[in-house]
Amino acid sequence: MPPRVNEAIEKRTFAVLVDNEPGVLARVVGLFSARGYNIESLTVAETDKAAHASRITIVTSGTPLILEQIRAQLDRMVSIRTVQDVSSDPLGIERELSLIKVRGTGEQRAEALRVADIFRAKVIDTTHESFVFELTGASSKIDKFVNLMAPLGLVEMSRTGVLSLTRGVD
């Protein structure tokens, strides 16, 4: 499908419940690469041992037509049980965890700590000239934190990618 100029690119999070079996992640990733879809982040872990189920959360982007295709393409894979569009679900929750290392001394170091405090980031490691912060939240919050830390000596970070769930009893 040639991209339609008048269709804007949107971001979308899909929660995909899969049979936990060898190769299932390769199938999902292979689908995205074979059909030229974007993967912005992807997380996977077993979530129900008894039911042999794993949950994959994929953040992707595309035109509405492409996003509809991605969903349909996922849905028809034999190893995939359900596909849920978390972003379009008003009850959808998305969170990400990040570890961020900042190096600095003096006023810079103090400022980093103040910013971390405002964001409720946890200090999980410290030396005289560095911190490792742990921050959980929406990806946009982590992005903001990272932007603020950049001039304060950000040296390294690791992010999990988005995890998602829906609010309520179901």
Partner 1 sequence: MTTQITAEAETMTKPLTGAEILVRALVDQGVDTIFGYPGGAVLPIYDALFHEPRLHHVLVRHEQGATHAAEGYARSTGKPGVVLVTSGPGATNAITGIVDALMDSIPLVVITGQVATHLIGSDAFQEADTVGLTRSCTKHNYLVKRVEDLAGVVHEAFHIATSGRPGPVVIDIPKDVQFMPGPYIGPEEARHKHSYNPRTKGDPAKIAEAMALLAGAKKPVFYTGGGIINAGPKASQALRKLAHMTGAPVTSTLMGLGAFPAADPQWLGMLGMHGSYESNHVMHDCDVMVCLGARFDDRITGRLDAFSPGSKKIHVDIDPSSINKNVRVDIGIVGDAGSIIEDMIAAWNAGGYKKPDLTGWWAQIEQWRARKGFAYRKDPKVIKPQYAIERLYELTKDRDTYITTEVGQHQMWAAQFYRFEEPNHWMTSGGLGTMGYGLPAAVGAQMAHPDALVIDIAGEASVQMTMQEFSTAVQFNLPIKIFIVNNEWMGMVRQWQQLLHGERYSHSYSDSLPDFVKLAEAMGGVGIRAETPDELDAKIMQMIDTPRPVLFDCRVAKEENCFPMIPSGKAHNEMLLGDDGTDLDSAIDDEGKMLV
Which residues contribute to the site for partner 1 (CB under 8 A)? 1-2, 19, 21-23, 26-27, 30-31, 34, 65, 68-69, 72-73, 75-76, 78-79, 81
Which CB sits closer to partner 1, 23 or 90? 23
Residue 17 C-beta: closest distance to partner 1, Å: 11
Residues found in the chain: 170
- Distance from C-alpha of 26 to C-alpha of 3, rounded to nearest angstrom: 26
CB of 27 to partner 1, least distance (A): 6
Shorter beta-carbon distance to partner 1: residue 79 or 130: 79
In the complex with partner 1, which residue's Cβ is closer, 23 or 106?
A: 23
Least distance CB 34 / partner 1 (angstroms):
5
Of the pair 81, 101, the CB lying nearest partner 1 is at: 81
Q: 31 or 165: whose CB is closer to partner 1?
A: 31
Please check whether residue 57 is in contact with residue 16, taking contact to mean a CB–CB distance below 8 angstroms: yes
- Least distance from C-beta 79 to partner 1, angstroms? 6
Which residues share a beta bridge with 73?
none
Helix, strand, coil distribution of the chain in percent, nearest 5: 30, 40, 30
Residue 108 CA to residue 21 CA, distance in Å, equals 48
Q: How far apart are CA 121 and CA 85, in angstroms?
A: 29
Mutual angle of helices 24-34 and 64-75, in 10-degree steps: 150
Alpha-carbon torsion, ordered 75, 79, 82, 85, to 10 deg? -60
Q: How far is the CB of 47 from partner 1 (least distance, A)?
A: 17
